[in-house]
Chains A and B, each alone.
Chain A
Amino acid sequence: MKKASLPGILAAFVIAALAVALPSFAGAYPLQVARNVILYMALAVSWDMLLRSGQISFGIAGLFGFGAYASVLAVLRGGMDPWLSILFAALLSGILSFAIGLAILRLRLMYFSITTLALAEILRIIIHNLHDFSGGPEGVVLEGSIAGGNASALYLLSLAGLAVAIGTSLYFEKSKLHLALTAIRNNETSARSSGVDIFRYLLIAFVASSAIQGMMGGIYVQSYGFATPESVFDANFTLLPLAMALLGGIHSTIGPMLGAILLGLAAEWLKLQIPYGHLVVYGIIIIIVILFMPKGLYGLARGGRKSS
């Protein structure tokens, strides 16, 4: 296993310190942009965690929306503390994905992907139709945002969510799990014959990445104070993290983070340039990355360093 270099660790500390200190020198708008970037970064990293096993999930929006509703309904219907409800969202998403995973993690390739996409739709339709409980198509409104809507607090909350995502992903990268997942991706049969308990590792990765997605849904919804099926189950919550991870470089923690920063900032700028249809950029980036640099930017940099 590769040891992290000293300059690398130092750089990571500086960046982390800057990220934590951002509210003390940035205004409301940059903080808002940063929150968006952080949200998508956490989703991109969590998506990659499962992808390392070779399983592509198209269901990020489903778990995100499920977590959002779990959190909002726990507060509204169960009178739960909003902060606690975020953990509750993570827990419930984890439990749900455990149950789902038992059934669908035996599927491979396109069958797994399509099933996750279908499950996301099922969750959305259920929320859409449970009028009395979930508020139906009109959604539900909380009494207010968490922490009174204080911009710095909301930013730090998102950052905490991201820290959980990155921490889990780094732990996965350094632990035995990483070897197991990589083995499954590269050659499942040989992984199985060398005694890797494939199903168990897939389940761990699936539950962990889903819990993070649910948690981010909880953070999102508590920050904005309302949820509608269309806003929290938006397909963009699947699409954007996927494009970011691909651009930055999949099968790593740094790649998706890099992609999230680049695309997240670019998206803010493009939103002003092309109000309708700025997502076309995401589509084109996906196509170009797949065709010309399937390893992403981080992969290119890593490959370049190796060959030089």
Chain B
Amino acid sequence: MEESWSSTCATASKRNKTMATIAGAAAFVALAIWKPTVLIYGTQQAGLYASIAIPMGLVLGIVHIVNLAHGEFMMVAAYAAYSLSMATGMDPLIALIPTAAATSLFGFLVYRLTIRNALKAPELNQLILTFGLGITLSQITNILFTSQTRKLSLDYVSASVTIGELSFGIWSFVFVAAAIAMTVGLKLFLTRTMMGKAAVAVGQNPRGAAIVGIDVDRTYGFIFALALAMVGAVGALFLTKSSIFPGVGGPFTMKSFCLVAMAGVGNIPGILAASLLLGLSEAFLRVFRELRGWADIVFFVLIIAVILGRSLKERKS
């Protein structure tokens, strides 16, 4: 009885999924014909969103911490890459490697000193703790670098391609590549390696994992450091394209959380799909002059719709 119910459920959800895929593909094609720039810039933006959200999804899925300082860590990494390339003349793409390593180490230290001690505390405390970490990071950056915006001018960023009458910048596709690389890399890591499998086990059931001899504490620390290494790399990439200032990371915390919540905790490929939806809808609204100011609202409406939708679904089941 129960089995048949769950199998009808599965077919129904499968049908829904196919329908959604078909509808999505149709919208994609229509968009490509009508406004190719929306498609191009929307996808690029989606790549940026996804590459910042994926590390948050990893931490939330395994360590079960909503890191409200997530965007601020990215901002700190961007400043680290900026300082490094200003001091040594290094290209931020090369600075990416030391930046990722340094951010990972820094994140690990912050984790050990603060978050680790609140793992068993109520969720309220964790939220407020990471909220406080975020403020501290952005304010320290404010003191060290002032609130002045900083930007590197790099030639390759303005690379563009012309197809027929259509001309567009291609550099930002690097974010799409980064997001895909992260998704594939994490998939391989979590399914093929011993450490990755252990991490998945810890994510599903920390007590059970501890019973079978997995060092839960070490796994948490490792996953946090791994996620922060990715955040560090994205921070350096972000610097190539955008101006940075102490508050630049904040909005990405919320966007990342929204995308992770949309995809469902533990579903990393889902983050790619959710990012695409967000990136394209924002780019779509920006086409219309009078709607341009409203593009920012899309995301917030989306997040509330998703959260409410999820809570409704949970109550039904």
Contacts and interface: CB of A to CB of B under 8 A. Distances in A.
Interface of A: 54, 56, 58, 103-104, 106-107, 109-111, 113-115, 117-119, 121-122, 125-126, 128-129, 239, 242-243, 246, 274, 276-280, 282-287, 290-291, 294
Interface of B: 66, 114, 117-118, 121, 123-125, 127-129, 131-137, 139-140, 142-143, 146-147, 254, 257-258, 261, 293-294, 296-297, 300-301, 303-304, 307-308, 310-311, 315
B128 A291 contact: no
Given A103-B308, A290-B128, 13 more contacts: A58-B131, A104-B304, A107-B307, A107-B311, A110-B123, A111-B310, A125-B294, A129-B294, A242-B128, A282-B139, A283-B133, A284-B132, A290-B121
B300 A118 contact: yes
A113 B127 contact: yes
B304 A119 contact: yes
Contact of B125 (A104, A117, A290): A290
A114 B307 contact: yes
5 contacts: A115-B303, A278-B139, A284-B136, A290-B121, A294-B121
Contact of B123 (A109, A118, A128): A109
A106 B304 CA distance: 13
Contact of B131 (A122, A129, A276, A286): A286
Contacts of B131: 58, 242, 286
Given A129-B294, A277-B143, A283-B135, A110 B303 contact: no
A119 B304 CA distance: 8
A111 B127 contact: no
A54 B293 contact: no
A282 B301 CA distance: 30
A104 B131 CA distance: 21
Contact of A239 (B129, B135, B293, B307): B135
Contacts, number: 117
A54 B308 contact: no
A113 B128 CA distance: 10
B251 to A, nearest CB: 9
Nearest to A235: B250
Nearest to A280: B139
Given A104-B308, A242-B128, A276-B147, A287 B294 contact: no
Pick the most buried of B131, B133, B294, B296: most chain A CB atoms within 10 A of its CB.
Answer: B131
Contacts of B147: 276
Contact of A125 (B127, B261, B300): B300
Nearest to A238: B131
Given A54-B124, A56-B124, A115-B307, A283 B297 contact: no
Contacts of A118: 254, 258, 300, 303-304
Q: 6 closest A-B pairs (Cβ-Cβ)? A: A286-B132, A283-B136, A283-B135, A280-B139, A277-B143, A277-B142
Contact of B139 (A109, A126, A277): A277
Contact of B129 (A110, A119, A277, A287): A287
Contacts of B261: 111, 114
A294 B125 contact: yes
Contacts of B311: 106-107, 111
A103 B142 CA distance: 38
Contacts of B128: 56, 242, 246, 286, 290
A283 B303 contact: no
B143 A287 contact: no
A182 B143 CA distance: 41
Contacts of B139: 277-280, 282-283
A98 to B, nearest CB: 17
Contacts of B146: 276
A115 B125 CA distance: 18
Given A279-B135, A283-B135, A286-B128, A122 B143 contact: no
A117 B136 contact: no
Pick the most buried of B118, B123, B135, B296: most chain A CB atoms within 10 A of its CB.
Answer: B135
Contacts of A280: 135-136, 139-140, 142-143
Nearest to A286: B132
A71 B133 CA distance: 34
A283 B294 contact: no
Contacts of B308: 103-104, 107, 115
B146 to A, nearest CB: 6
Contact of B293 (A106, A129, A277, A286): A129
A278 B138 CA distance: 11
A135 to B, nearest CB: 14
B123 A121 contact: no
Nearest to B121: A294
A291 B136 contact: no
Contacts of A122: 297, 300-301, 304
